[in-house]
Amino acid sequence: MSLILIAIGGNAILHPEKGNPQEQQEKIDGTCKEIARIIRGGVDVVLTHGNGPQIGNILAMQEECGLVHPQPLDICGAQTQGMLGYLLQRSLLNMFREIGIKKQVTTIITQVIVDGSCESFQNPTKPIGLYYQEERAKTMMNAGVKMIHDRKGYRRIVPSPMPFNIVEEDIIKKLISEGVLVITAGGGGIPVIERNGVLEGIEAVVDKDLTGSLLANKIGAEIFLILTDVENAALNYRKTNQVDLREITVHEAELYIKEGHFGKGSMEPKMLAAVRFIRSGGKSAIISSLDKAIDALAGKAGTRIIA
Whose Cβ is closer to ligand ADP: residue 284's or residue 288's?
288
Catalytic position from the list 11, 116, 165, 173: 11
Q: Does 125 bind ligand ADP (CB under 6 A)?
A: no
Residue 56 touches ligand ADP, criterion: CB under 6 A: no
- What is the residue-wise DSSP string for 113-172? EE-TTSGGGTS--EEEEEEE-HHHHHHHHHTT--EEEETTEEEEEE--PPEEEETTHHHH
Single out the catalytic residue among 9, 50, 85, 208.
208
Residue 266 engages ligand ADP in binding (rule: CB under 6 A): yes
Q: Print the SS3 string covering 236-254.
A: CCCCCCCEECCEEEHHHHH
Minimum CB–partner distance for residue 132 and ligand ADP (Å): 20
CA distance 149 to 175: 44
**Cα dihedral: 140, 144, 150, 153 (round 10):** 0
Binding ligand ADP (rule: CB under 6 A), the pick from 34, 39, 50, 192 is: 50
Residue 69 or 239: which CB sits closer to ligand ADP?
A: 239
Nearer to ligand ADP, 50 or 189 (CB): 50
Q: Is 305 in the site for ligand ADP (CB under 6 A)?
A: no
Our finding on whether 234 is near ligand ADP (CB under 6 A) is yes
Under the binding rule (CB under 6 A), the answer on residue 224 touching ligand ADP is no
Which residue's beta carbon is nearest to the bound ligand ADP?
A: 9
293 interacts with ligand ADP by CB under 6 A: no
Q: Indicate which single residue of 230, 257, 294, 306 sits in contact with ligand ADP (rule: CB under 6 A).
A: 230
> Which amino acid is located at 279 in the chain?
R
Residue 270 appears among annotated catalytic residues: yes
Instruction: Provide, rounded to whole angstroms, the least separation between the CB of residue 54 and ligand ADP.
Output: 11
Q: Identify the CA nearest to 188 among candidates 146, 229, 226.
A: 226
Q: DSSP states of 39-97 as a string?
A: HHTT-EEEEEE--HHHHHHHHHHHHHH-SSPPPPHHHHHHHHHHHHHHHHHHHHHHHHH
Q: Any catalytic annotation for residue 10?
A: yes
User: Taking CB under 6 A as the rule, does residue 263 contact ligand ADP?
Assistant: yes
Q: Which of 209, 204, 224, 216 is nearest to 160 (CA)?
A: 204
Binding mask 138-167 for ligand ADP (x = CB under 6 A): ------------------------------
Q: What Cα–Cα distance (Å) separates residue 270 from each residue in 26, 148, 223, 276, 305?
A: 26, 23, 14, 10, 11
Residue 236 is among the residues annotated as catalytic for this protein: no
How far does the chain reach from its first CA to its final CA, in angstroms?
Answer: 22
- Minimal distance in Å, beta carbon 233 to ligand ADP? 4
Kindly indicate which of the ranges 27-35, 57-65, 124-132, 231-239 contains the residues binding ligand ADP, using the contact rule CB under 6 A.
Answer: 231-239
215-229 exposure pattern, b = at least 16 Cβ within 10 A, e = fewer: bbbbbebebbbbbbe
Active-site positions? 10-11, 126, 208, 270
Residues near ligand ADP (CB under 6 A): 9-11, 50, 228-230, 233-234, 237, 261-263, 266-267
